[in-house]
């Protein structure tokens, strides 16, 4: 009888532990949802024309400042004459204008007609770990204030973004299994401490959602959109991809790959500097270049008009070519 009682006690303890663990998980999700709900808006986007205003989509946005700035996905509000209304859980519905949209990062900043918003706290996606709990808050399919929870499935993903003929890769995209649906775009991806670590941007498949990270680079983009309404980037005019270095070259530079120039745009800084297709770039401005995203990260506003030395392998010969980037025109 004693053995049976101990077994029953062990089973009860296990059940209690499981209930406590579930309660702890639920408490985190509930706390995050309650904390962030006042900061997440349901967007109804309109397109203005000479004939009036017409529906142009829907999405979500996150309050950035008390005086009316909101952050969302660029694809939610991109296009001429975009305006709309932002609805909050307290029943308020505010008109907004697009302050600036950057399609190459898929981020946009809006300005609501009235202030007194409840700003979300921004975190840093660089601190995330695979397996970490995250909560997605948004308005999927028009259902305001919807909450889903999941984990960080992967980090360091890349997501292509296009503006006109320019294609750029958004770096360090967060992959999560928290359910995302149409209308979640522009909503918040939040860590267990209630800090916004990403802006939900895409549904890549069942159980596969993607979010643009909140980090030092995206904070600069958001600041530029708030201040100037646009993001300035440098441009040298090449298309390229990674290619293994010949053994002798790899030994010389201490790396195994470089960026092969596939195409050089006519009249571009790269063409004026003498770059040619099949050249291998291993450094630019003293920074290592192995892939296209290495080059992309160097094309910041500060590089516009600044001379940059490219270390190039052409066949068996090494060259140092000076490029002077210009501003990228979208």
Per annotation, catalytic residue among 106, 171, 191, 279: 106
Buried b or exposed e, range 293-323, using 16+ CB within 10 angstroms: bbbbebbbeebbeeebebbbbeeeeeeebeb
Counting Cβ atoms within 10 Å, is residue 292 exposed (0-12), middle (13-18) or buried (19+)? buried
106 is a catalytic site residue? yes
Task: Note if 10 is an active site residue.
Answer: no
**Residue 229, phi-psi category: left (phi > 0), alpha (psi -120 to 50), beta (remainder):** left
Res. 204: pLDDT tops 80: no
This prediction's pTM: 0.79
Per-residue CA distances from 309 to 173, 199, 204, 257, 318 (Å): 30, 36, 39, 19, 13
pLDDT bucket at 3, cuts 50 / 70 / 90: very low
The pLDDT value given to residue 133: 94
pLDDT of residue 143: 62
Return the bridge partners of 162, or none. 167
Whether 185 is catalytic is yes
Residues 80-102 pLDDT 10s: 878 899 999 888 999 999 999 99
Distance, CA of 80 to CA of 48 (rounded, Å): 8
Residues 6+ apart with CB under 8 A from 210: 157, 159, 173, 174, 175, 176, 200, 201, 202, 203, 204
Kindly report, residue by residue over 152-170, the tens digit of the pLDDT.
999 988 788 877 767 777 8
Tens-place pLDDT, residues 276-294: 999 999 999 999 999 887 8
Catalytic residue (one of 75, 105, 171, 191): 75
Query: Which residue among the candidates 60, 146, 185, 268 is catalytic per the annotation?
Result: 185
Q: Would the pLDDT of 226 be above 50?
A: yes
């Amino acid at each position: 009888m004693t053995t049976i009682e101990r077994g029953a006690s062990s089973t009860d303890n296990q059940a209690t532990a499981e209930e406590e663990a579930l309660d702890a998980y639920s408490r985190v999700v509930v706390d995050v949802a309650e904390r962030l709900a006042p900061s997440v808006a349901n967007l109804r986007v309109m397109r203005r024309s000479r004939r009036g205003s017409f529906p142009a989509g829907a999405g979500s946005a996150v309050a950035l400042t008390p005086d009316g700035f909101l952050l969302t996905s660029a694809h939610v509000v991109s296009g001429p004459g975009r305006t709309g209304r932002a609805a909050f859980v307290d029943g308020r519905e505010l008109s907004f204008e697009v302050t600036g949209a950057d399609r190459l990062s898929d981020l946009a900043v809006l300005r609501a007609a009235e202030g007194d918003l409840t700003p979300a706290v921004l975190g840093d996606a660089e601190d995330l770990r695979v397996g970490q709990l995250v909560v997605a808050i948004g308005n999927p399919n028009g259902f305001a204030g919807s909450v889903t929870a999941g984990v960080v499935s992967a980090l360091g993903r890349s997501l292509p973004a296009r503006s006109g003929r320019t294609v750029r890769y958004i770096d360090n995209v967060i992959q999560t299994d928290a359910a995302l649906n149409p209308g979640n775009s522009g909503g918040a991806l939040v860590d267990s401490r209630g800090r916004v670590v990403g802006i939900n941007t895409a549904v890549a498949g069942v159980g596969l959602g993607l979010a643009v990270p909140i980090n030092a680079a995206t904070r600069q983009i958001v600041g530029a959109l708030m201040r100037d309404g646009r993001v300035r980037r440098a441009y040298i005019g090449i298309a390229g991809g990674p290619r293994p270095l010949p053994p002798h070259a790899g030994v010389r530079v201490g790396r195994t790959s470089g960026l092969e120039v596939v195409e050089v745009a006519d009249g571009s800084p790269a063409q004026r500097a003498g770059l040619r297709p099949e050249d291998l770039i291993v450094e630019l401005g003293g920074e290592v270049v192995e892939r296209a995203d290495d080059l992309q990260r160097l094309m910041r506003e500060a590089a516009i008009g600044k001379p940059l030395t490219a270390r190039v392998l052409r066949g068996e010969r090494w060259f140092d070519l000076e490029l002077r980037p210009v501003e990228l025109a979208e």
